[in-house]
Amino acid sequence: MGRRALPKIDPTLDLSRHLLTLTELEPPFVASRWFGREAPLEIEVGSGKGLFLTAAAANDPTHNFVGVEIGAKYARFAASRLARRGLNNACMISGDALRFMREFIANDSVAAVHVYFPDPWWKKRHRKRRVMNEGLVADVQRCLVPGGRLHFWTDVEEYFQVTLELLASATRLSGPHPVSERPAEHDLDYRTHFERRMRMHGLPVYRAEFIKPPAGTEPSAATGPFATHAASTNAINANRTNANSSDTNSTGTGAGNPS
């Protein structure tokens, strides 16, 4: 399934409040300076077309949102969605999300990190390029405030399992906590365009949430279905599919199928 061309952006649309490039920033990134207010900060790694970021910013005006996308044309398109709706509590950064998390984000400063349908890098020799790696999960743990959350979704069971193992061995985050699937109320009521596509085709989506415990406490272990079976209990179809598709989602470090 090939990618559809992005719709054209109105050339008169002012993106100055909604689009930054990583190369023009100097660390640290202080969200309160950019947004002009103190508010909980949420970061999306690999925003693609910006469906999640736009919906999240509209649904929770009390939070600030930053999306980071390696594909410049997708970052610009996502920023245009924010600008068209006047969502001044969100912005896009065009650049490498791993570098952004590593070099620009302070300790204990982020309420939530979202990673949805990252590129699975199917070939074994390419898996070192996966965004969910030891460096990122360490930065997620470092950046989250106590009680902050990591949301990770994928359609690839193997990637899901490997990531759960990585988070268990390399971080103190509690989880995985299962995430229930809710019915869509309208045609775009999904976290990403990729989730919409998977669910419309009756294919499984694996979802998990992790929480940073307070300092000095032990993380809680997963209970219920996750204790014995790491695959999300709300996968739509019990049949597993790892079919290789060129339509995989974009991430902060490699091109794929934007969300």
The CATH number that applies at residue 26 is 3.40.50.150
Burial class (CB in 10 A: 0-12, 13-18, 19+), 223: exposed
Q: Can you give the residue range of the structural domain that contains 106?
A: 19-228
Tokens standing for 165? 């193992």
- pLDDT tens-digit series, residues 164-187: 999 999 999 999 998 877 765 565
Is 193 part of any domain? yes
- Whether the model clears a pTM of 0.95, i.e. scores above it, the answer is no
pLDDT for residue 215:
83
Residue 125 vs residues 16, 108, 129, 166: alpha-carbon distances, Å: 40, 34, 9, 18
Is 59 part of any domain? yes
If one counts the domains in the chain, the total is 1
Is 241 part of any domain? no
- pLDDT tens-digit series, residues 66-121: 999 999 999 999 999 999 999 999 999 999 999 999 999 999 999 999 999 899 88
pLDDT for residue 25:
97
- Report the SS3 class of residue 209: strand
Is 166 part of any domain? yes
- pLDDT tens-digit series, residues 191-206: 666 566 666 667 788 9
Is 66 part of any domain? yes
| Active-site annotation, residues | 119
Inter-axis angle of helices 134-143 and 157-170, nearest 10: 60
Is 37 part of any domain? yes
